[in-house]
Structure 1
Amino acid sequence: MHNLTQLEEVVNVAVEEIAFSGCIQLYQHGRLLLEVSSEWRNRAEQLPNERHTRFGIASGCKIFTAVAICQLIEQGRLTTETRLQDCLSIPFPHFDPEITLHHLLTHTSGIPDYFDEDVMDNFEELWKDHPVYQMRSLQDFVPLFADQQMKFTPGAQFHYNNAGFIVLGLVVEQQSGIDFTEYVQKHIFDACGMNKSGYFAADRLPPNTALGYIYDKVGSWRTNIFSIPVRGGADGGAYTNGPDMHKFWQGLITHQLIGKEMTERLLSAHVHCNDDEDYYGYGIWMTRRKAQPFKFHLMGYDPGVSFNSSVYEEDGMILIITSNEDQGPYIITEAIESVLYPMHTTEID
């Protein structure tokens, strides 16, 4: 048994040092071991974050898109090697005809991205020419990348790509006949009992949802309502909370969402990423330490949003960290791992 007192002390120190705003939940075999909630979901009204507060998770929900595609594959509508041009009727004049769903799921398609981190480092720059309040559907993103040239030959390398998951969401819509967010709500959220989760519009947030906050250059806090798309979609932007995210992990691991064979394929290390220890499956990261599997994990970062969630399969640990600021979960994760897995991590200063 891990030293929970030491773990609590380390987490509390980290939370205080970075003034962490959000929630932390650590489960083992379904039992809640550690829970911390800190700061405000609404600063103006001083409404506190608590266990059931919903947070945006940005790209952390690419896993939902991957599961949706895998469900359609199990239904026989697609395969991982189905070419994009054979399952989506939207024209992309410069896309390589050999792009497959596998390429898109693993960020190896080579298609242009609407937010290319090699070109820009500030997500808010996107909305200078494309009003953020108009970004409410997957189709709204297509003009941002549809006419651009390929970056590389499909399968040649890993390059993280949000547009690739927008395209996957469009495939889900065309193959299922319903809106992407409706599909995920019905076949993933409802299927797992995630009754607090959804792709909520920023101008119509439900109760107990954290507003995202950005510390401005002028030294004050502002919300992110003008910094992210009004409504999330296949590349990110869903809202959830710790208990619901735990339900998702349980549903995935126990094959409630997709069968054993497809789950194993989703969780396979399909491509080696830029970091020596990091690999990518279908919509999910995985880390190896000393050539051994260490964890599966999700990450999501947008202005006013940060999210990390990890599964340490060997001892049944599931960690979920949600935040309504754009930093914190990574630091908290490192602090927790320094106690739980000291042989796998460097010492925290």
Structure 2
Amino acid sequence: MRSLADAVDETAERTGFSGVVRVDRAGRTELCSAFGWADRAHHVPHTVHTQLAIASGSKGFTALVVMSLLERGLLDLGTTARSLLADDLALIAPDVTVEHLLRSGIGDYLDEHDLEVTDYVLTLPVHQLDSTEQYLPVLEGHETAFAAGARFAYNNGGYVVLALLAERASGVAFHELVRTLVCEPAGMVDTAFLRSDELPGRAARGYLHRHGLRTNVLHLPVVGSGDGGAYSTAADLAEFWKALFAGRIVSRASVAAMLDPRSDWPEEHQRFGLGFHLRASGDGVWLEGYDAGVSFVSAHDPATTTTCTVMANWTDGAWLMVRLLEEQFGL
């Protein structure tokens, strides 16, 4: 029977995987391997320390910022968006609360049902989107799809609004909130919202296709916000899950509330908590990101303390590797 390392190597060779794969179980790293190019043009290879974009995986960080502010008394799940938005984003209904934004939808500036992730979808030049307040023009003008709490709909705009509410409630910029409330207590030293037009040497460029040099720099905000855009490493993600379940980011009671299934998502064969994907049954939980030049999953099984992380720097690069690990570990 082939070993896990052999299976991962074979899958990487067959699929053109480019990125990092890591598996931790019961406090031990069983596998951590890097494949392909972090920078194709200059033939810079991935290493296990490469910082890769995680796209919507960042939503979990946003949810944790919100829960941390709840614990500090600066927000509440029942806080209405309108109470902090004032006259901004007038189409967000008066009854939409923080909890609604965490688990259901408002009118979405980036509706993934209506586009391909490699399309040019933003209505502003991407270089203007370098802070959460700068997102206001793209969040405007989207009618609410259904009454608050009526049903579940995966939503990007809601998480940018959550970042905006967190800023206004705390008086601190969102990226600073992620750093101080999530990354520092978790020991995530290599996780940050990096500018895509000035990436440091250890950060991977995101490529649209399996082959070629075209990157995603014109497809995404130059700096991400509440719905995506953080860069991280496989080691940091392993630390994240340990810190989360140890209650070092928010209390264990808050973690339990976030991982309580709030919504069914039958078309995706899963459930959704507050910022986290949940298996249709069992305790498996994960973060996932998919965007132009980015595909990412980090999954954790608290019963076996198994964490599997797949980080890829081209649009569809992660999924066959993710399938292999799902088959191996049932995550």
TM-score between both structures, scaled by the size of structure 2: 0.95
Q: Distance in 2 between matches of 1:161 and 1:201?
A: 23
Distance 1:7 1:222, change over 3 A: same
Distance 1:22 1:90, change over 3 A: farther
Q: Distance in 1 between matches of 2:316 and 2:129?
A: 24
State the Cα distance separating 1:260 from its structure 2 match: 1.3
1:304 is aligned to 2:302? no
Q: Secondary structure at the match of 1:258?
A: coil
State the Cα distance separating 1:67 from its structure 2 match: 0.3
Aligned twin of 1:53: 50
What is the percentage of aligned positions where both structures have the same residue? 30
State the Cα distance separating 1:329 from its structure 2 match: 2.1
Q: Distance in 1 between matches of 2:134 and 2:94?
A: 23
1:146 is aligned to 2:143? no
Q: Distance in 2 between matches of 1:136 and 1:124?
A: 20
State the Cα distance separating 1:85 from its structure 2 match: 1.6
State the Cα distance separating 1:62 from its structure 2 match: 0.3
After the TM superposition, which of the residue ranges 276-285 and 176-185 deviates more from structure 2? 276-285
Equivalent residue runs for 1:148-227 within 5 Å: 148-215=142-209, 220-227=212-219
Map Cα deviations across residues 18-50 of structure 1 (whole Å, 9 max, x no partner).
Answer: 110000000012210012210010111111101
Structure 2 counterpart of 1:230, from 222, 228, 242: 222
Q: Secondary structure at the match of 1:124?
A: coil
- Which portions of structure 1, spanning 4 or more consecutive aligned residues, are displaced by more than 4 angstroms? none
State the Cα distance separating 1:294 from its structure 2 match: 4.8
Structure 2 counterpart of 1:339, from 303, 328, 331: 328
Aligned twin of 1:119: 114
Equivalent residue runs for 1:1-349 within 5 Å: 5-106=2-103, 108-109=104-105, 111-122=106-117, 124-127=119-122, 129-215=123-209, 220-275=212-267, 277-288=269-280, 292-341=281-330
Q: Secondary structure at the match of 1:157?
A: coil
Q: Distance in 2 between matches of 1:276 and 1:223?
A: 29
Q: Distance in 1 between matches of 2:113 and 2:46?
A: 35
Verify the 8 A CA contact 1:124 1:228 in the aligned structure 2.
no
Q: Distance in 1 between matches of 2:181 and 2:87?
A: 24
Q: Distance in 2 between matches of 1:190 and 1:50?
A: 23
Q: Distance in 1 between matches of 2:184 and 2:87?
A: 29
Verify the 8 A CA contact 1:197 1:239 in the aligned structure 2.
yes
Unaligned runs of 5+ in 1: 345-349
Equivalent AA in structure 1 for residue 194 of structure 2: F
State the Cα distance separating 1:118 from its structure 2 match: 3.1
Q: Secondary structure at the match of 2:208?
A: strand
Map Cα deviations across residues 247-305 of structure 1 (whole Å, 9 max, x no partner).
Answer: 111111100011111110011110001436300011110113xxx31510111011111
Unaligned runs of 5+ in 2: none
Q: Distance in 2 between matches of 1:257 and 1:90?
A: 33
Q: Distance in 1 between matches of 2:114 and 2:214?
A: 26
Verify the 8 A CA contact 1:212 1:303 in the aligned structure 2.
yes
Distance 1:320 1:38, change over 3 A: same
Verify the 8 A CA contact 2:82 2:92 in the aligned structure 1.
no
Distance 1:8 1:90, change over 3 A: farther
Distance 1:118 1:276, change over 3 A: closer
After the TM superposition, which of the residue ranges 21-30 and 6-15 deviates more from structure 2? 6-15
Equivalent AA in structure 1 for residue 145 of structure 2: K
Verify the 8 A CA contact 1:181 1:199 in the aligned structure 2.
yes
Could you say what the CA RMSD is over the residues aligned between the two structures, in angstroms?
Answer: 1.8
